[in-house]
Amino acid sequence: MHQSTMIFRQLFEKTSSTYTYLLADSDGHEGILIDPVIETLERDLKLLDELDINLKYILDTHVHADHITSSSLLKDKTGAQIVIGSATKVECADILLSDAEELSFGKLKIKAIATPGHTNGCTSYLCEGLLFSGDTLLIRGNGRTDFQEGSSETLFSSVREKLFTLPDSTLVFPGHNYEGLLMSTIGEEKEHNPRLGTKKTFEEFKSIMENLNLAEPKKIEIAVPANLKCGRN
């Protein structure tokens, strides 16, 4: 991570335990926001203003079921373009990124990695050795696969074939954490992830996922339709 050329902030929204990430080129102050939440719109706009960042792209890792994105409102305020993975088929996005496509902001580049499984359109983003893994790979866990196009088989192969082939030193910044953990590494997750670690078989993973018995996300009925419209009601 070339700290000298990057402004980086990890931000938190407490209701849905969502992380929003701000990255910017410290020379030209051109920046991006990953997974912004509607409740924290004013906070994010204030920070962009204070750090004098010209927002170029707003990226969502997927169509969220637990919170509403602020991408449309941010676009209205900043003129930034809305970006999401091409498999989401979200019509309000300015850019639908396919696997391995890159975007530039200042001197920095961010690369899309299609990582379906939690949803069809889940996309992880890689920038300067930092992986923004959305709900595909969480710290010592992963996103659920029991609704909204979920597939344990697809998620398992996304993590094993796409994410675990990255260098062990790659820093992992997830879409959520409920335990107060901020980040991990690919090496740590390969070793210690109790579901997806490299000692686990697919059959073991599938059994774990089938027995989670999770409640529906509190906001699914409003969040998914709103996020298909980039956060507009």
Pinpoint the alpha helices (H) of 138-233.
Answer: 152-157, 186-192, 202-210, 220-227
Domain membership of residue 232 (yes or no) is no
pLDDT at 59: 98
Domain membership of residue 22 (yes or no) is yes
Determine how β-strand 108-114 pairs with β-strand 102-105.
antiparallel
The total number of structural domains that make up the chain: 1
Domain residue limits at 78 = 3-227
CATH of residue 14's domain is 3.60.15.10
The partner residues of 11 in beta bridges, in order of sequence, read 20
Pinpoint the alpha helices (H) of 8-161.
Answer: 41-50, 71-78, 152-157
The answer to whether residues 63 and 121 touch, using CB atoms and an 8 Å cutoff, is: yes
Stretches in the chain below the pLDDT threshold 50: 1
pLDDT at 3: 52
Domain membership of residue 159 (yes or no) is yes
d(CA 129, CA 13): 24
